[in-house]
């Protein structure tokens, strides 16, 4: 009787062990995914904080320079007799540089939102991979999107450090002198906008690549 019970328990143990071994690779993949996701979240927070601090630092660096150049502009405007024109140019100088600072912040925030979307794509790709799906093409697209976001962020940092001066030649050319600075800002912001758009498009392509994986929406991790 005891021998029979022992044999049954041994068979049960062997069956359970075999089942556990079958699940082991899957559990390893799940554990790896969870660890990678936690690391990715920490890296995202760290990278974003570093980026925000660098943009802030750039803006603070140029603040004193903007004020110094404004004083220089006032001196050059002494040759202009029309007081209204003087005041208009000074206001334009301030508004151009203030607008540049606001737009740098705006595009920084837009890139954060784009990165949030990419992070969700990366999470879905990780779940798919943990479930044994082929995510090679999606991973390649994700890497391209990360590069595009990094490139756009570099442009934001550069833009945040720019100063737009108005080179006063004479009272007769005052309008065109001011227009040159305004147009320079417009051109730079247009280029920056294209960079941000390229990052958004790259993230979209990564999402499309992920969606093309068969059964990807069925892939879940407990």
Residue 196 to residues 74, 116, 131, 155, Cα–Cα distance (Å): 36, 14, 33, 9
Give residues with Cβ within 8 angstroms of 214, minimum separation 6.
133
Q: Examine the pLDDT at 217 and tell me if it is beyond 80.
A: no
Give residues with Cβ within 8 angstroms of 29, minimum separation 6.
129, 130, 131, 132
pLDDT at 222: 58
3-state secondary structure at position 215: coil
Could you read off the pLDDT of 34-74 as tens digits, one per residue?
777 777 777 778 888 888 888 888 888 888 899 999 899 88
Q: In angstroms, rounded to a whole number, what is the distance separating the alpha carbons of residues 127 and 216?
A: 9
Could you read off the pLDDT of 190-209 as tens digits, one per residue?
999 999 999 999 999 999 99
Whole-model pTM: value is 0.79
Q: In angstroms, rounded to a whole number, what is the distance separating the alpha carbons of residues 196 and 200?
A: 6
Question: Contact 58/161 with Cβ under 8 angstroms?
Answer: yes
Report percent pLDDT > 90 for the chain.
45
CA atoms within 13 A on the CB side of 91: 6
């Amino acid at each position: 009787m005891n021998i029979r019970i022992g044999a049954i328990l041994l068979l049960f143990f062997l069956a359970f062990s075999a089942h556990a071994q079958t699940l082991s690779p899957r559990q390893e993949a799940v554990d790896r995914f969870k660890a990678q996701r936690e690391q990715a979240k920490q890296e995202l927070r760290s990278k974003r904080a570093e980026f925000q601090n660098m943009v802030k630092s750039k803006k603070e660096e140029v603040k004193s320079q903007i004020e110094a150049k404004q004083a220089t502009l006032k001196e050059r405007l002494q040759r202009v007799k029309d007081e209204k024109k003087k005041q208009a140019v000074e206001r334009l100088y301030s508004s151009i540089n203030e607008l540049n600072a606001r737009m740098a912040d705006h595009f920084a925030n837009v890139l954060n939102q784009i990165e949030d979307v990419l992070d969700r794509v990366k999470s879905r790709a990780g779940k798919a991979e943990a479930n044994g799906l082929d995510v090679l093409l999606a991973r390649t697209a994700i890497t391209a999107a990360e590069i595009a976001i990094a490139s756009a962020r570099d442009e934001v940092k550069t833009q945040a450090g720019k100063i737009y001066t108005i080179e006063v030649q004479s009272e007769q050319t005052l309008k065109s002198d001011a227009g040159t600075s305004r147009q320079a800002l417009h051109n730079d912001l247009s280029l920056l906008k294209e960079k941000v758009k390229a990052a958004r498009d790259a993230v979209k392509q990564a999402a499309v690549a992920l969606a093309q994986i068969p059964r990807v929406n069925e892939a879940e991790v407990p």
